[in-house]
C-alpha cells in the first residue's frame, strides 16, 4: 500500500504544479506571495527545532512549556511583528 500512497502524492504534486503554471502562464497571476514562503520557512524551522528539543533530558511538563515558548518565539512573534500576514493584525 505504500506504493499507492507515493504514486498518489506524486500525482497530486504534479497536478497542482501544473495548475499553478497554467494560471501563471494564461492569466499572468501567481497565487502566492513572498511572505507566504517566509512563513513556510518559519514553519519548517519551528518543526525541526521542536523535533530536536524532544531529545533533551527534561520531563514532559518542561518539554511542553519549552515547545510552546519555542513555537511562540520562532513562529508567532515573527509573523506578528514583521507583518507577514495582513489578517494577523485584524485579530
pLDDT digit string, tens, across residues 61-74: 999 999 999 999 99
Query: pLDDT tens digit string along 5-59?
Result: 999 999 999 999 999 999 999 998 887 888 889 999 999 999 999 999 989 999 9
**Separation of alpha carbons 45 and 76, rounded Å:** 12
Residue 44 is predicted with a pLDDT of: 96
Mean per-residue pLDDT for 76-83?
90
Q: What is the pLDDT of residue 69?
A: 96
The Cα–Cα gap between 75 and 82 comes to 11
Q: What is the pTM of this model?
A: 0.72
Q: Where are the alpha helices (DSSP H) in 2-76?
A: 2-27, 34-53, 60-71
Using pLDDT thresholds of 50, 70 and 90, give the confidence band for residue 90.
confident
Q: What does the alpha-carbon distance between residue 88 and residue 81 come to, in Å, rounded to a whole number?
A: 10
Amino acid at each position: 500500500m505504500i506504493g499507492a500512497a507515493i504514486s498518489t502524492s506524486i500525482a497530486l504534486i504534479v497536478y497542482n504544479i501544473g495548475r499553478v503554471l497554467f494560471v501563471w502562464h494564461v492569466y499572468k497571476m501567481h497565487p502566492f506571495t513572498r511572505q507566504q514562503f517566509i512563513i513556510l520557512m518559519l514553519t519548517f524551522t519551528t518543526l525541526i527545532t521542536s523535533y530536536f528539543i524532544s531529545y533533551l533530558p527534561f520531563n514532559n511538563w518542561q518539554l511542553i512549556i519549552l515547545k510552546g515558548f519555542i513555537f511562540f518565539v520562532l513562529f508567532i512573534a515573527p509573523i506578528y511583528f514583521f507583518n507577514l500576514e495582513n489578517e494577523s493584525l485584524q485579530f
